[in-house]
Amino acid sequence: MSQKILDIDLKSVTWKSTRKEGLNIEYSVPIPRTIADAVLQELEETITYFTGDLAKIKVFGKVYSLPRQQVAYGDPGITYRYSGTTVPALPWPQSVLSLRDFLFKLKGIKYDFVLINRYKNGSDHMGEHRDNEPDLDLTMPIASM
C-alpha cells in the first residue's frame, strides 16, 4: 500500500470547492477504490487505538467513553488538547507516514500531527461541536481522508 498511494497520477486529481461565510472547503476523490481499500485494510491491521483515560472525554464536568476509537501520531513532542484531555502523539508508523507523504505531494503541506478517529458504524458519532481549541493553528488547513 505504501508505494501504491504515492504512484497515483496527481495530474488526474480534479478539485472542487465550497465557499460560504466561515466555510472554505476543497475536496476531491483522488484515490481509486482499489487503493483506498488497500489503505483501509493496512490501517485496520496496523493501527492500535488508545485505551484507558485516552479513550474518554470530559463534557461539562462528566467523563464519558468516546463514541469512537482514536489514536494520534506526530512529530516528537507534539500533543493535542481538547475537553480537558491531552493526547500525546505517538511516533509515525509507516502506513500513516505514507498518507502524510501523499498529502504533501498532493497539496504541498507537510503535516506534523494526525488524529485518527475510527467510527464502527453509522450509530457511532460525536455530538455537534467545534474544534476551536486555542492550540490549533487557524492558518493550517485540516485534511480529512
Domain boundaries, the chain: 2-118
Per the annotation, does 125 bind a ligand? no
pLDDT value of position 94: 92
Per the annotation, does 74 bind a ligand? no
pLDDT value of position 70: 93
Lowest average pLDDT, out of 45-59, 65-79, 102-116, 121-135, goes to 121-135
Per the annotation, does 108 bind a ligand? no
The residue among 72 and 64 whose pLDDT is bigger is 72
Per the annotation, does 129 bind a ligand? yes
Per the annotation, does 119 bind a ligand? yes
Portion of the chain with pLDDT greater than 90, in percent? 39
Task: Average the pLDDT over 18-36 and give the result.
Answer: 87
- Topology of domain 2-118, per CATH? Jelly Rolls (2.60.120)
The residue among 77 and 32 whose pLDDT is bigger is 77
- Whether pLDDT at 40 is above 70: yes
pLDDT value of position 108: 92
Per the annotation, does 52 bind a ligand? no
| SS3 per-residue string spanning the chain | CHHHHHCCCHHHCCCEEEEECCEEEEECCCCCHHHHHHHHHHHHHHCCCCCHHHHEEEECCEEEECCCEEEEEECCCCEEEECCEEEECECCCHHHHHHHHHHHHHHCCCCCEEEEEECCCCCCCCCCCCCCCCCCCCCCCCCCC
Per the annotation, does 61 bind a ligand? yes
